[in-house]
Structures are given as structure tokens and as C-alpha cells.
Structure 1
């Protein structure tokens, strides 16, 4: 188990904003290249849409929502972009294993985590209409972290239509507005189709407007499957004054919050309550950031090898005074190649530390990318260099992508997590009778 610090450093905020500004600059560069290539290039149009939908617009939304979206609990989850997401419409009491027990009894399926493999599978399943009962759900955030786990029920063997519900463990000692003590909060909605997000242009599931129908379906299936479950309802807990979720879908609710009590549900004797936490899982931005640093390292290593193997070709270089010194030139090229080689090897080590979750390595990688971006921006502004698809754009894009990935909230929280005891001794020693 881990917990994240309450505040981000000013340095993190600076990297975050710089990443957004650099992304805007890269978008202008891509638009400029489009005039040379022509928008008829399908691959380039796809690359520009992917950059706009999955990198630029989310970062701009995140910067703006940090300013104007309240940071306290208002009965709504948030998207990774900071937009208000689905309504929190179910509360629960009980240990994690008891929650898993009642959901399994009600014939709900535990959703896979979002990984490259599961993302690829859900894309192919949606396109070819193949069943994927464990299809992952997109991350939503509550208490500054994504859901700890999610359950779903596929409809008609079509991954584009499903019932699904996300679960978050409440912080120790936290209470709902009004003083109600609960252990878990959940947000359940029904996916009716696949479409484009109104706010980010991403491909996403579109949900049914009346979220109360899904809320009641979740509570009914659980209560019918487990006789030990009891349900109480907090009337008029919230209002429907926010009428769209993070994907732009209209939502409505009567504001009631059912509290599902699973504390009397029996689990196998000797089986300890689970303590999963989404912050324990290595997020995709961290993996992507580490991979991009490796790519940058491979480019440096390739350059070093090229210089070392071709140093003889520089022996005939003529200096400004007209002299030729092959030994000095070869030595200089070898020195530069050695420096580049050492830098590349250091980047490989840095990428490994980022992958393991080192915050120091993350900050160093962002710092290197920031310096590179600023230097290239100054050169481009003064006319020293021209950044095009053939010269410089790939390297600049790599630096910007590293900065965007490692300055993201998910990467930041994972790198700054702090280990705390998994379970209090009193809970760890408890056994729930079967």
C-alpha cells in the first residue's frame, strides 16, 4: 500500500505547464508540416489527430481544470484530464474481499487493468464485435487516485455495450458530507455505444443518460444474490446540476445514494481482507516515459557508434586557418563520441530507474527534456535552425512526449508514493468465519 503526498512541488507544476506549452508548439509545427505534406497524407492526419486528442487537449484541460474545478468531494469522479466524470452513486460498507464476494455472486466480472495488451484487445474486440467479458474500463479519479478496481457485465457478447462500476476505497477516517461513515464509494454507468469524446475527440464509450437505472441495477443484482446484504438509502444526497460527464455525455440523477452493507457477508475462513490500491500499479505514462528515454538513449548510442566507426572520415577536415591536423581531429571526434556514449548509457540507467518508480530519475529525465526543448525553441526563434520532419522534429517530439508522460498526474503519484503498512495488526489477525 502507498499513499501520495498531499502537495505537488513547484518544480512539478513548472514541468507540467512547460509540457503543455511545448505540446502547443509541437502542434503548430505539425500543422506547418501538413502544408508541405498535404492533408491527403492519411498517416499524417491520423498522427495529428492522435496527438491532438490524446496529448494536447487532455493537457490543456488538465491545466484549466486545476484552476476552476473544486478539489474537494462533490459527488463526482474526475477524468485523467481533470474534467468532471461520472456521478458517485453507490456507497458500500465492508472489507475488500467481501465486496469481491458479493460482486462475484451477482455474476459481475472483474475488469482487467488498463495495459497495452488489454487496450489492444478491447480495440480489436470492439472492431470485430468479439466478446471480451474482462474488458478494462478507463481510469476515473476520486481522492486524487484512479479506481482501485472495477466490475462489469457484458451485454449480448458486445464489448461496446456493458454495465460497469468502479470502486474506490475511502481514506481512513473520511466521512461523507452529513457525517455518514462508509468504506467504499462507487460510480456505475451503462455503456450504450462507442463514439468520440465531445471535449477531447478521443474514442470512448458513450453512457446512458439516466445513471439511476444503472445504480439500481447494481444494487438489485447484489441484494438478490446475497441475502446477508442490506441496503439503506441516503435521500437527496446530491443534485444533477452538472449535466455532462468527462466524455460530453448528458447525465441525470435523482441524487439518492444507496449504501450497500456487506459486513455480514461470509468469506472463506482464514482468508485475509485484500488491500489493493491503484497507486501500487505501474501506470502507462511511467512505462511510456521510460520507453521514450530508452529510445532517446538508443539514438545517442547509435550516434556514438557512428562517430567511432567513421572517425577516419573526419581526418581531412580543414580548420579556419587552412591547416589540417588528422590526429587532433580524430581525437576530438573520439572524445565527442565517448561523451555521447556515456550519456546514452546513463539514459538507459535513468530509464530503468524511472520504470522502477524513482522520483529523482523522473525529475532528472524531465529536466533534460526541458533543457533540450528550451534550447531548440531558442534556436528556432533566432533562426539558427529550422525544425522540420526531416531534421529535428523527431527528436523534439521525443523530448516533449517524455515531458508530457512523466509530468502527468498518474506518473507523478506513482513516483511520489510512500509505503505504509498494508493492514493494521488488529485487522491482519482477524479471520472472517465462513
Structure 2
């Protein structure tokens, strides 16, 4: 069919119809939420500037502001900055790449699987692969110890990458040299119901396999991370060969030139390259051919605590810090009334503050706790009010920090105050308050 026949007359440009509304209404809450996202980024950059540049005086105590300055930049400011920028220019449809939690393009999608989840687990375990632990405080600490001291951790967790707006369903790995600094690993995502790959190809699972060659710093955020080997095709082919060697009935169909061959960088800034081919691995009935051996740990997928009604960790941490703040504020109020000097105050002793401010601080802290409880109960305007007070507190702390960066207590409370603002204004808390997390989970399970 000829979609572009030769016109008889010179073409005349047809004006497009008037813009059709997308149905979304202006929301004051959404606008304020966006403002606080940017404000939190500004506070983090301000703190990083104070610690790294604003008071750079050579001394032994310089290690305090430099350490907190790096932590502020790497774990607070730059991730939020990347989130804002990538939201504007990184596409949200399938382009054969995963995304990091900050929205940066991650590892390439270089494998597809046909078969049930049980079949995938049976095939991978039979081929000598080990399921990765979920990311918890304990598993994160264990992988740090393994990487630094060279101890074995075969089930070391992998960082979260996102495809179809969800993090990987599970991941497998093979440890190299007896420690977690080098390893083969592959993440798996279930393909949404009815979704097809470009070109009309179908698969039940998509996967991204890469090889961790060492531990280093991310080029984009300066966070500690694994450095990925550039030739991702070698890891892709290695995964296919281990599966075929262990189970000769596993079939493979290769889609040639599924994507354009390219040289790029992943979410950690590491160079990657691929020829663009996509193997589709048929593991159907693998569970019947090679039943999974009994394991001490269940292969049940780790669920987000929010699935069980548990608030996000960032909101719980912010609540804990606010509780400490109110205890300190009450102590200051007692000091103002009794005139006694308590050397173990949890916050600054307030010696230069007027008495009426010292008496007002406990009441302001009580309001913060009231708004925190409202946020935990998912009242969106309580969250807005909480962010307002947290921003005011953070600004006061940053102003007071100027010229006092060698004080560990001053630096610590400045860092924590900015962390609270970033946490309360973050995506996890917004989803918790608005119920977006529950809605997304329901759609995925439907």
C-alpha cells in the first residue's frame, strides 16, 4: 500500500487541530509538592557548598566537613538533581535500557526468556547461578565487608534497576574470586500482560546481564558502586552458554539487530557496548526436567514494606529525627525556665537565643510531631505543612552552620535537617500519602 502517492498539486500545509486537554486539572497540592522538590535540592546544594567550599580552611578538623560534604553531594543533592533532569528528557517507554532509581539510563536489556517464573528459577539454579538477597541493612553491610576484606558472599544483593516503571523481580549472580567485588549477575523483569517487544516479538521475561569487574565511584553521583565491564555481549553470551550447557533442551532464538549497535554509558558512568542482538531463551518445562533442589532460604520475592502498610523508611527516619528534636527543644525550654545548664542537650544549647524563643521551640516541635502523625495517616496537607516547618528548620540550621563547619554537632544536625526535607519531599513519601504505591501494585497484580 502506497501511503504517500504523488500529489497532483503542490501540497498545502494543513494546520493541526487545537490542542486537546489531557484531562488533568491544575492542583495546588501538586504544584506545592513540585516546589518543595526543588527547594530540597537547593538546600542540599547549599549545604554541600558550605561544607566543601564555603569554609575551606586547612586543619585536622577539615575531615568532618569534607566527609559530610561528599555524603551530601553524593547521596542527597546529585540524586535529586538527576531525578529532575531525567524526568524532563529520558523517555518513559521501552528503548532497550533499564533506569536507575534516579532516572539515569542503566544497563542494556540483552536477554529475553520464555517460561514461567518457576522454570526460570530452575534453569538458573541448575546452571550454577545463585539468587541475590534483597537489599536490607544487613545485606548492605555484608557486601561492604565482603568487598573491603575480600570475604565470600555468594548471595550479595544487587542495586535496583527499573524497567516498566518497576524494579527487578529477582536477580541471580555468580561470585568470582571469592568476594563480592567481582561477579556475574543478571536481573529479571516480568513482561506486562499483552505487551510485545518492538517488531512484534513476544517473551515472558526480559533480563539485563552484566559483569562487575571492581568497586569504585559512580561518575554521575560519586557514590560507591560496582564498575561494570564494557563488553556486555560477553556476559550475555556467557549466561546463555551456562544455561545451554546445563540443560541441552533449552532452546535459543536470536533476534539479529534487535537494537542498533552502540557505545554508551550506564547509570554508574561505565562504558558499555553491544552489537544489538537479543537472544530469546526458551526455558519452558525446565522445572520438570531439573526440579530445584531444596534450599534453606525461600525464593519468595521480597515485598516492599509499604505492601504491608509500613510507611517508607525515609518517613520513619524523618520521624525519628523529629522526635529527637522535640526532646531537645523541651530541654531548652526547661533551661529557659530553671536557668540550669545541661551539658548533654541533644541540640544546640541556645545560649544566644532570647528566652521567649526557647519557650516557643517546644510548641513548634509539637506542631511538627502533629503534622508527622497526619502524614503517617496519609493526609496530604499535613505533609505540606510538615515540609514547610522542615524547610524553615533546615534554613535556620544552615545559616547557623556558616563559620562553624569544624563542629561535629553543627555539621551533623545540618546534614540531618537537609536529609529530613529530602526524605519528606521524596517520591516514596508522596506515593505513600497519595496511595500511588497501592494503586500501582494493584494494577501489576491484576
CA separation in 2, counterparts of 1:333 and 1:252? 60
Are 2:186 and 1:165 aligned?
yes
After TM superposition, list the pairs within 5 Å mapping 1:402-417 onto structure 2. Answer: 402-410=420-428, 412-413=430-431, 416-417=436-437
Q: How many residues align?
A: 391
Aligned twin of 2:320: 294
CA separation in 1, counterparts of 2:126 and 2:84? 42
Are 2:133 and 1:115 aligned?
no
Give the drift of 1:359.
Answer: 4.7
Q: TM-score, normalised by structure 1?
A: 0.77
Give the drift of 1:413.
Answer: 4.9
RMSD: 3.8
Between 1:241-250 and 1:83-92, the stretch displaced more is: 241-250
Q: What's the CA shift string for 1:382-408, capped at 9, x where partnerless?
A: xx9978556976555433212323444
Give the drift of 1:374.
Answer: 4.7
After TM superposition, list the pairs within 5 Å mapping 1:37-52 onto structure 2. Answer: 38=59, 41-52=62-73
Aligned twin of 1:219: 240
Give the drift of 1:36.
Answer: 5.3
Give the drift of 1:207.
Answer: 1.2
Instruction: Summarize the Cα distance change of 1:70–1:345 in structure 2 as closer, same or farther, 3 Å threshold.
Output: closer
Between 1:405-414 and 1:256-265, the stretch displaced more is: 405-414
- Larger RCO (CA under 8 A, 6+ residues apart): 1
Aligned twin of 2:442: 420
Instruction: Summarize the Cα distance change of 1:377–1:166 in structure 2 as closer, same or farther, 3 Å threshold.
Output: same
After TM superposition, list the pairs within 5 Å mapping 1:1-400 onto structure 2. Answer: 9-31=30-52, 34-35=55-56, 38=59, 41-266=62-287, 276=301, 286-308=312-334, 311-313=337-339, 336=360, 339=363, 342-343=366-367, 346=370, 349=373, 353=376, 359-360=378-379, 364-365=382-383, 367-374=385-392, 377=395, 388-389=404-405, 395-400=413-418
Aligned twin of 2:11: none
CA separation in 2, counterparts of 1:18 and 1:239? 40
Give the drift of 1:161.
Answer: 0.8
Q: Which secondary structure does the structure 2 equivalent of 1:247 belong to? A: coil
CA separation in 2, counterparts of 1:90 and 1:15? 40
Q: Which secondary structure does the structure 2 equivalent of 1:41 belong to? A: helix
Q: What's the CA shift string for 1:161-217, capped at 9, x where partnerless?
A: 100001112222221111222221110000111122222222211111111110111
Q: Which secondary structure does the structure 2 equivalent of 1:417 belong to? A: helix
Give the drift of 1:378.
Answer: 8.8
Q: Which secondary structure does the structure 2 equivalent of 1:255 belong to? A: coil
Aligned twin of 2:19: none
Instruction: Summarize the Cα distance change of 1:413–1:236 in structure 2 as closer, same or farther, 3 Å threshold.
Output: farther
Instruction: Summarize the Cα distance change of 1:42–1:387 in structure 2 as closer, same or farther, 3 Å threshold.
Output: closer
**Are the aligned partners of 1:308 and 1:337 in contact in 2 as well (CA < 8 Å)?**
no
- Give unmatched runs, 5+ long, in structure 2: 1-28, 293-298, 341-354
Q: What's the CA shift string for 1:257-288, capped at 9, x where partnerless?
A: 1112223223579xxxx984765678999314
Q: TM-score, normalised by structure 2?
A: 0.75
Give the drift of 1:34.
Answer: 3.4
Instruction: Summarize the Cα distance change of 1:52–1:345 in structure 2 as closer, same or farther, 3 Å threshold.
Output: closer
Aligned twin of 1:317: none
Instruction: Summarize the Cα distance change of 1:38–1:298 in structure 2 as closer, same or farther, 3 Å threshold.
Output: same
**Are the aligned partners of 1:228 and 1:264 in contact in 2 as well (CA < 8 Å)?**
no
Q: What's the CA shift string for 1:232-268, capped at 9, x where partnerless?
A: 1111111233511111111111111111222322357
**Are the aligned partners of 1:149 and 1:167 in contact in 2 as well (CA < 8 Å)?**
yes
Aligned twin of 1:427: none
**Are the aligned partners of 1:193 and 1:206 in contact in 2 as well (CA < 8 Å)?**
yes
Give the drift of 1:125.
Answer: 1.0
CA separation in 1, counterparts of 2:105 and 2:421? 25
Aligned twin of 1:324: none
**Are the aligned partners of 1:380 and 1:387 in contact in 2 as well (CA < 8 Å)?**
no
CA separation in 2, counterparts of 1:133 and 1:334? 54
CA separation in 2, counterparts of 1:412 and 1:242? 36
Aligned twin of 1:319: none
